[in-house]
Amino acid sequence: MSQNQEIIESKLCAYIDGELDAEGRTEIEKHLDANPQHRRLLESLKATRDLIKWLPREPAPPELAETLNGQLERSVLLDFDERSLNRNIWPRFLTAAAIVLLTAGLGAAVYFTLPKGQKNATPYAMRSNESQSPMPEATVPEPAADVTKSDDTLVAAASMPKAANARVLAAKIAADKTPNPELDRLASNVSQNQAAIVAVANGVGPAQNAGPPIPSNAIVMLVHANSTELATRDVTTYLESQKIQWKNAPFSAGLDQNTTQPAGAVADLKGDSGSLRERVSNRDAGQIYSTAPTTRTAMLARSSMAVEGNSSQNSNFYVARMSRQQAIDLSNSVQQGVSQKAELKELGLATGNPEWLNRMAMPPTTAPAGIVPGASYPLLVPATGPTTRPAYGAFGGAMGFGQPTTQSGADGAAELAAMTPSADAPVDVVIVVQPDAIAASTQPSALAQTQPAATQPASTQPASTSQPSTN
C-alpha cells in the first residue's frame, strides 16, 4: 500500500465517521460532487457501518460470572496477599533472628564451657594429650599401615595383624622428622652405643669408657619380653597415647654391626668426637681394646659382647622425653603384657664409669676422675634434683646395676621418684626392648660361670685383633 493511498483511505474513513476536519470534508465533498459513483460507495460504507452498530448486544452467560466469582474466591483464600505479607514480615523476621541468635548463643556457650580437651576430641584416646589416664585405653587403635600419615596411621592399623604393628610403628618413627635437637642427639648416642647400653643395662658392666661427655639425664627402661614386637607395640602405643615425642634409635653403622663381624673387625664408634675407633677383638674373649686412653674405649665383658651381637638384630631402641609419672606409667603398662617385664635403670650410674655416665647424663660435664663402688657422686640431673647419690646405691644399687636384677615396678618407680624433683619433671628415657632370652643369657650367675679373665683373648681371636689398636 502506497503512502498516498493510505492517506486517502484514512481521510475517507474519517469522512464516513464524521471526524474529518472542515477543510478535509470540503475537499472530499468537492471530489464526490465530481464523482457520484464515489459518493454511492461512501454511502454504502456508511450503511455497512450502521448495520454493525445495530447488531444486538449479547449479555454474558451467567456461568461466566459464576466461574469468575469462584476464581476470585479461591484467589482470596489462596493467593498471596502482598499487604498481609508486608504486615507480617517483621514478626517473621524477628522470629528468625531470635532463632539465629539462640543457636549462636548455645554454640558459644558449648564452645567456651566444654573443657579444651573435649573440643578437639577424637574417637581415639591416643589423641587426647590431656588424658589423665596413665594407661592407654582398650579402645586405643593399633598402629597404622600408612606411615606417612601420622594422624591416621593408628586408626588404620586397627585392622592390621598385631605382628606387623611394631614394624609399622618403627617405620612411622623413622618417618617422623619432627626436629628435636636434644632427642636427636640422644637417639644418635644410643644408636652408636647400643651394645654398651644393653650390656650395662643387663648388669654385665661396669665398662670403661672414655670420651667427651654426653649431656643427658637419661634413664634406661629395659623391657624384657618373649615377643619384642608385642612389647614394642605396647611401648609405642603408650607413647602415642600420651603424645610423647619419641624417636627410634636405629642401629648405627659402627659398633653393633661390627660386633657381629668376625674377630678382628673394627668398630668405628662415632661418638661426639667422631674419632673413636674401637676394636672388638673377639666376642668369645669378651675383650675390647681401646685404641688410645684419650679416646672412648668400651671394655665389656665377654658376655656383654654376646649381648651386643644379639642386640643388633633383636632389640629395639627408642628414646623419649617424658615426665617421671609417665615413665612409671609406661613401665607399669608394659608389665601388663604377658611374659613382659620392665626395669628402670639409671644409665649413667649403671655403667659405673664416670666417662660413660657423663656421656649420657646432664652437666656437669666434668665427671669425677674415677668411680668407686658404693661411693657417692654428684647426681647428674638438673639442679632441682638431689645433689648426690651413691653410684651403686639407691636407684641404681637397689635395682642392681652393679648386681643385675629383674626388679622393677614399684621399687623402680620409687627410685625414679627419688631421682626426679617432681612427677612432672622431664626425664629422657632410653627404652630397650629386648628378647627375654637375651636377658636370661645375661644374668649374673650365667655370666659368672662363663666369664673368663677379662684380658684373656679367645683362642680363635687373631693375634692382630687381640691387641689394642693403635689407630
- Kindly state whether residue 78 participates in binding another protein, applying the rule CB under 8 A: no
- Kindly state whether residue 19 participates in binding another protein, applying the rule CB under 8 A: yes
Q: Which stretch binds another protein (CB under 8 A): 52-60, 257-265, 365-373, 384-392?
A: 52-60
CB of 40 to another protein, least distance (A): 11
Comparison of 46 and 167: residue with beta carbon closer to another protein: 46
Count of chain residues binding another protein (CB under 8 A): 44
Residue 222 and residue 203 in contact, taking contact as beta carbons nearer than 8 Å: no
Q: Judged by CB under 8 A, which of 23, 37, 61, 338 binds another protein?
A: 61
- Kindly state whether residue 38 participates in binding another protein, applying the rule CB under 8 A: no
CB of 66 to another protein, least distance (A): 10
- Kindly state whether residue 23 participates in binding another protein, applying the rule CB under 8 A: no
- Kindly state whether residue 5 participates in binding another protein, applying the rule CB under 8 A: yes
- Kindly state whether residue 21 participates in binding another protein, applying the rule CB under 8 A: no
CB of 115 to another protein, least distance (A): 57
Comparison of 65 and 114: residue with beta carbon closer to another protein: 65
- Kindly state whether residue 45 participates in binding another protein, applying the rule CB under 8 A: yes
Q: Judged by CB under 8 A, which of 69, 120, 133, 261 binds another protein?
A: 69
Q: Judged by CB under 8 A, which of 30, 65, 110, 339 binds another protein?
A: 65
Q: Judged by CB under 8 A, which of 36, 56, 91, 370 binds another protein?
A: 56
Comparison of 40 and 243: residue with beta carbon closer to another protein: 40
Comparison of 10 and 422: residue with beta carbon closer to another protein: 10
> What is the spatial order of strands in the sheet that 278-282 belongs to?
266-267, 278-282, 287-290
Cross-strand partners of 224:
341, 434
Q: Judged by CB under 8 A, which of 4, 22, 83, 370 binds another protein?
A: 83
CB atoms < 10 A from the CB of 38, how many? 14
- Kindly state whether residue 35 participates in binding another protein, applying the rule CB under 8 A: no
Please list every residue from 84 through 123 that binds another protein, using CB under 8 A: 84
Residue 290 and residue 439 in contact, taking contact as beta carbons nearer than 8 Å: no
- Kindly state whether residue 138 participates in binding another protein, applying the rule CB under 8 A: no
Please list every residue from 259 through 298 that binds another protein, using CB under 8 A: none
Q: Judged by CB under 8 A, which of 36, 62, 181, 274 binds another protein?
A: 62
Cross-strand partners of 317:
432
- Kindly state whether residue 82 participates in binding another protein, applying the rule CB under 8 A: yes
- Kindly state whether residue 453 participates in binding another protein, applying the rule CB under 8 A: no
- Kindly state whether residue 48 participates in binding another protein, applying the rule CB under 8 A: yes
- Kindly state whether residue 60 participates in binding another protein, applying the rule CB under 8 A: yes
- Kindly state whether residue 44 participates in binding another protein, applying the rule CB under 8 A: yes
- Kindly state whether residue 6 participates in binding another protein, applying the rule CB under 8 A: yes
Contacting positions for another protein (CB under 8 A): 1, 5-7, 9-14, 16-17, 19, 44-45, 47-49, 51-65, 67-69, 71-72, 75-76, 81-84
